[in-house]
Each structure stands twice: as structure tokens, then as C-alpha cells.
Amino acid sequence: MRMLAIAAAAAVALTGCQAAPDDAEPDATAAAPVSVLLDWSPNPDHVALYTAQQTGAYDDAGVDVTFMTPANTADAAREVSLGRADLAISYEPDTLIAAEQGLDVVSVAALIPTSLTSLIARTESGITTAADLEGKTVGLSGLASQQPTLDFIAREAGIDPGSISAPNVQQSLNQALLTDQVDAIFGAFRNIEGVELTAQGDFVVMPATELGVPDYAELVIIANPSRLVEDADYAERVRAFLAGTAAGQATALDDRRVAIDSLTPETEGSYDPDVLELMIDATLALLPEDGFGRQSAEDWAAYATWMYQNGLLETEIDGATATTDDYLPGADG
């Protein structure tokens, strides 16, 4: 499950390319290495990534991709900003928060172009609206955007955010809910935890967009903008990775069986196979058939303004500067 603990050593394992020995002949045909820090352990949100890897799309694009799982869900921006990962999977809100904090990151593609974050509770808990959260305990996974978003939802529902206890349960969202450690969870995804929980029992799944939060790209691929400008090799590796990922997404959309077969070995032991298929179907339904990764600078700017107005950002920033489509397949550059 996404709830499974992830070894801290995984993030440390991110390393740069080792220099070839002085007496080694350079291999002009060798695939260029690309390290990618995931936002979580492998799961259906990564269907385009693993379909690309399993079908050889990355090989065809000329890159040797290594996926790493994070020690903490908030690692992505820091690791990319410091150059310890070439790319990372992150979230639009958290990318904007990172930009406000001065971290050197930019979104180069939308991996999941719509919001997935949801509030989930047992139906028997009586929590069917955000107003029912007053005095309750809601588990979070530790992303910087979650607490202020939950506070916004509470205010929109007319209740005091301070009345809600919100412990950080990290990657144990489902476990915290199933073992009654919390009354509800926020930050769970409707296409993953929502599908998994409703397959096990009677749960209510409330997407954040139905609780007053504007839509945004849930998962994005972030890169280091300084490196993109200063290092032509890095920029080309980013372009090649995105081209391979686009091909992976196209294959997954064309043949769900290939998508399922690509993701199954990566998630073995984490999900029931039948439920995994339901999750993958729910995820594929959210992906565009054309225009992989496309992002709207205007939408990012509008979302950043909303974040500032509602306490998710301390200062007003131009969200349009935190995203670019320049490295997507077909872009000039």
C-alpha cells in the first residue's frame, strides 16, 4: 500500500553519474542516466512512468531512468533544488510553496492534470460534509499544503479550524482510518485510497474540489530551472524523459492490459490485484488522450493567487513562473 513505510535510505541513494575511468572509451550510444524521485511508493498515479519503463519507451528516448522512493513525501522540491535528483514527482500546491520559499524548482509537465485529494471517512462516523469535522481528528500525510487547505475547507463550512485535530500520519493514511486512530483522512486520493477503501467497506469520499477548493494539477514533474538554462545535457535528458513518459501514457491509454502488467510487478504485495485494476482504470480515466503534460500558466497564476488569499502562501507570487511547457514533446527549444 501507499501506507507502507518507506526506507529512509531510498532518498539517500540518489547519486549523480559516476565519471568514466580515464582509460575507458566513451560510449556515444549509452543511454543518459536520469534519476527521478517519486512522491510516494509506486502506485497507479505512476502508470505512465512504469508503462514507459516496462515497454522500453525510455530506452527508445535514449535515457536510463532510475525511480527512487522518498523517505518523506515533502522531499521532492529540496532534492531537485539541491541537484540530488534530476527530476521529482510533486504537487502543484507544494511546487508553488517551494517557489515561494526560494527553492530552485519548476514544473515541466502535469502527470495527473486534475485534483485527486479527498476527505475520506467511514460512513458510520456520520461525517458526510466538511461541517461534520468540528471536534474530529483528521489524519494528514505531511504535505505543506494540507493543513492550510483543511483550514480553508473548515472556514468554508462555517466551523473553527482550530476545533479539528490534524495529526501527521505520514504514509499511513488508510491504516490510521481503518484502525480508528482518526475519524477521517485528508490528502488521500480518490483514485487510490478512495477505491481501495470502498472495496473494503462503506466509506464516503469527498473530493477537495467539492469542498470549495479550486482544481489544480495533483501530480507534476519538477525540474531544476537553473540547470535547465546552464546545462544543455540536463535539458536534453529532461526532454527525453518527458518524451518517453508521453509515449508510456499513450500506450497505457491505448491498452489497459499493458498498463496493468507494467505496474503489477512494481506494486506486488501492496494492492489486491483486482483492486489495482480498478485503481488503474480510475487513473486512466483522468488522463488526456492528447497533449501529454500540458499546463496553463494562467491557471497556475490563478491558483497561486487563491493560495495567497487563503493562507497557503505567505507572500503573493506569480504562479505562471513556476511552470513551463518548453520541454514537452513538440515544444520549441
Domain limits of the chain? 9-114+217-322, 117-211
pLDDT at residue 275, rounded to an integer: 96
- The C-alpha atoms of residue 69 and residue 7 are separated, in whole angstroms, by 8
More confident residue, 25 or 84: 84
Q: Which residue has the cell 531544476?
A: 224
- pLDDT level of residue 12 (50, 70, 90 thresholds): very low
- pLDDT level of residue 28 (50, 70, 90 thresholds): low
**CATH tag, 9-114+217-322:** 3.40.190.10
- Single-letter amino acid, residue 303: Y
- The C-alpha atoms of residue 292 and residue 138 are separated, in whole angstroms, by 34
pLDDT tens profile 105-147: 999 999 999 999 999 999 999 999 999 999 999 999 888 889 9
pLDDT at residue 13, rounded to an integer: 39
pLDDT at residue 54, rounded to an integer: 97
Please give the class, per CATH, of domain 117-211: alpha beta
pLDDT at residue 311, rounded to an integer: 87
pLDDT at residue 30, rounded to an integer: 85
Distance, C-alpha 162 to centroid of its chain: 28
Has this prediction a pTM greater than 0.85? Answer: yes
pLDDT at residue 29, rounded to an integer: 63
Average pLDDT taken over every residue of the chain: 90
pLDDT at residue 283, rounded to an integer: 98
Could you tell me which residues come within 8 angstroms of residue 115 by beta carbon, excluding any fewer than 6 positions away? 207, 208, 209, 213, 215, 216, 217, 218
Helix axes 297-309, 92-100, angle to 10 degrees: 70
Could you tell me which residues come within 8 angstroms of residue 205 by beta carbon, excluding any fewer than 6 positions away? 118, 119, 120, 190, 194, 197, 198
The candidate with the shortest Cα–Cα distance to 43, out of 64, 78, 69, 74, is 69
Residue 232 has pLDDT above 90, yes or no: yes
pLDDT at residue 333, rounded to an integer: 56
- The reply to whether 9-114+217-322 and 117-211 are identical in fold is yes
Residue 44 has pLDDT above 60, yes or no: yes
Residue 71 has pLDDT above 60, yes or no: yes
**Averaged pLDDT for residues 19-32:** 54
Residue 5 has pLDDT above 70, yes or no: no
More confident residue, 18 or 325: 325
pLDDT at residue 21, rounded to an integer: 38
Of 9-18, 52-61, 166-175, give the lowest mean pLDDT range. Answer: 9-18
Cell numbers at residue 219, please? 501530480
pLDDT at residue 27, rounded to an integer: 52
- The C-alpha atoms of residue 108 and residue 279 are separated, in whole angstroms, by 25
pLDDT tens profile 150-204: 999 999 999 999 999 999 987 789 999 999 999 999 999 999 999 999 998 999 9
Distance, C-alpha 212 to centroid of its chain: 21
**Averaged pLDDT for residues 272-282:** 97
